[in-house]
Amino acid sequence: MHQIHNNKNDYAWQIRGKGGTRHVLSNTGRRRLNIIGALNPVTLIPTIFLTEANCDKELVQIFFGEIRKEYPDREKAVHLFLDNAGYNRSYEVKSKAEELNIKLHYLPPYSPNLNLIERLWKYCKKNLVKNRYYPSFDDFFQANLDFFGGIEDHIRGLQSLLTLNFQII
């Protein structure tokens, strides 16, 4: 997920001519935070890696190391479902996954609805970016750290959103 340091105005209805319009401060939106994540579908606890660096095959390999720290038993394979981004399919990423006993599964193209983490990203943006102003990038970065550091506080809201009930067409 790419969080841009700028607020995103949400939508609301109001009667024309009535007061209540809010003016929301804004930033330049030139800095962004890249978040690489994996979601455990049973516990709903994500493994998150936050960085300002661009996402590439080296960053994905580092993230795989973070996954293994979270699930250290190398005898048990970790299954990751990924989108079809080029860096996810690189030889180096596949080699690192094999080395760490991480099994990679690629979702069909144009199917973000099958990827549970996409729902988490939407929830995160709703809570962190919609109608929110952060005066500095450090404040923005810290808000993201606090959100994911306290994800247990959001489990109740995530339970109905991050369900494994997929409709087969």
pLDDT tens per residue across span 136-167: 889 989 999 999 999 888 888 888 787 766 66
Locate 121 and state its tokens. 């990203």
Looking at residue 118, its pLDDT comes to 86
Query: How far is Cα 70 from Cα 146, in angstroms, rounded to an integer?
Result: 19
Nearest Cα residue to 34 out of 79, 85, 99: 85
Locate 163 and state its tokens. 């369900």
Looking at residue 160, its pLDDT comes to 79
Q: Is residue 61 over pLDDT 90?
A: yes
Q: Is residue 22 over pLDDT 70?
A: no
Q: Are 116 and 89 contacting, i.e. CB atoms less than 8 angstroms apart?
A: no
User: Where residue 66 falls among pLDDT bands split at 50, 70, 90?
Assistant: very high
Query: How far is Cα 40 from Cα 124, in angstroms, rounded to an integer?
Result: 16
When comparing pLDDT for 10 and 84, which is higher?
A: 84
Locate 110 and state its tokens. 């144009």
- Our measurement of the distance from residue 56's CA atom to the centroid of its chain's CA atoms, rounded to an integer in Å, reads 16
CA-CA-CA-CA dihedral for 42, 161, 120, 30, to nearest 10:
180
CATH 3.30.420.10 fits domain 30-120? yes
User: 102-106 and 78-82: which strand pairing?
Assistant: parallel
User: Where residue 33 falls among pLDDT bands split at 50, 70, 90?
Assistant: confident
Q: Is residue 71 over pLDDT 70?
A: yes
Match 């001519």 to its residue by tokens: 17
Locate 1 and state its tokens. 């997920």
When comparing pLDDT for 148 and 113, which is higher?
A: 148
Say what percent of the chain tops pLDDT 90. Answer: 36
Looking at residue 23, its pLDDT comes to 65
Locate 132 and state its tokens. 């929110």
> In sequence order, which ranges of the chain are alpha helices (DSSP H)?
57-70, 91-99, 116-128, 137-149, 155-159
User: Where residue 89 falls among pLDDT bands split at 50, 70, 90?
Assistant: very high
What does pTM read for this prediction?
0.79
